[in-house]
Amino acid sequence: MVKERLRKDPEWATALLMMPNQALEKNNPRLDFLPRRQQLYRSSSSALAGALGPPSFDVNPSEHPAPLNDIHDIPPTPGVNDSVPEPMLATNEGFDTSRCCSVKGCTFVLSPDYSFKMCIQCRNRSKQQNVSNRRKWKAEGLASDQGVKVLRAHEDERRKLHGLPPLDGSPNELRTWEQSVVDGKVQLPLPG
C-alpha cells in the first residue's frame, strides 16, 4: 500500500518526511494540515512565485492523500505525544497566514489581505526618506554643475591669456580637460 502510494504521488512522501513520526498514528489532530504542508513544498513555475504574498491554500479534494489509517508498514513511535502539550496540537490545526512588516526592527503584524510588505508607518517613513534623498541629490548635482561651469570659465580665461582657442573649438581638448577634472588633476576653486 505505501510503496504503491509513493510510486503514484512523490509529493505525498515529501510531506510525510516533513512531519514527525507521531503523524502516522491514528486519529492524530496533526493530520488535517498535511495537504497544506504539501502546498508549501510544491514546486511552482517561477523561482519568485509567491514572493509577493502568502501562499494560497486552495487544495482540491483529489490532492488529499489517502487516509494514513491503512498504513501498517510503519509502527507508531511510542511516547511522542506525551512530549507535545495539548494546546500546541490544537494551534497546529489552523495555519496562520499573517506576516510581519519587512522593515528590520518593526514588529507590526500585517493582515493576510494587505498587499504590501511594509506597514503603513514604515511605508510613509520610506517615502519621506526617498523624497529627502532625491532633494539632496538634486541639490548636490546642481552644485556640481555650477562648480564645473566655474572651472570651465577659468580654463577658457587661461587659454585666452595664452592665445589658445576656447575648449568649445576642440572636442579632443575638451574631453582631455573634462577627464583631468574627473581625475582631480585640475585644482578646484575655493567656494565663495
Between 3 and 164, name the one with better pLDDT: 164
> 146 or 190: which carries more pLDDT confidence?
146
| Position 174 pLDDT exceeds 60 | yes
Q: Which of 29, 64, 97 is where one domain is finished? A: 97
Look-up: residue for cell 519587512? 102
Residue 114, in any domain of the structure: no
| Cα separation, 12 vs 70, whole angstroms | 15
- Between residues 28 and 9, which one has the greater pLDDT? 9
The whole model's pTM is what?
Answer: 0.37
Would you say 110 and 100 are in contact if contact means Cβ atoms under 8 Å apart?
A: yes
Candidate from 34-43, 100-109, 147-156 with smallest mean pLDDT: 34-43
Percentage of the chain modeled with pLDDT above 90: 19
Residue 111 covered by a domain:
no
Residues 30 and 77 in one domain: yes
Which stretch of DSSP H or E encloses residue 176? helix 171-183
> Residue 103: inside a domain, yes or no?
no
Q: The domain containing residue 24 runs over which residues?
A: 2-97
Number of structural domains (the chain) is: 2
142 to each of 131, 145, 147, 148, 151, how far by Cα in Å?
A: 17, 5, 9, 10, 14
Residue 167 contacts by C-beta under 8 Å, 6 or more apart in sequence?
152, 155, 156, 159, 173, 174, 177
Residues 39-78 have pLDDT tens digits of 444 445 555 555 555 555 555 555 555 555 444 455 555 5
Is residue 173 very low, low, confident or very high in pLDDT (cuts 50, 70, 90)? confident
- Distance between CA atoms of 107 and 95, rounded to whole angstroms? 20
Task: Supply the pLDDT for residue 97.
Answer: 76
Q: What is the mean pLDDT of residues 140-150?
A: 89
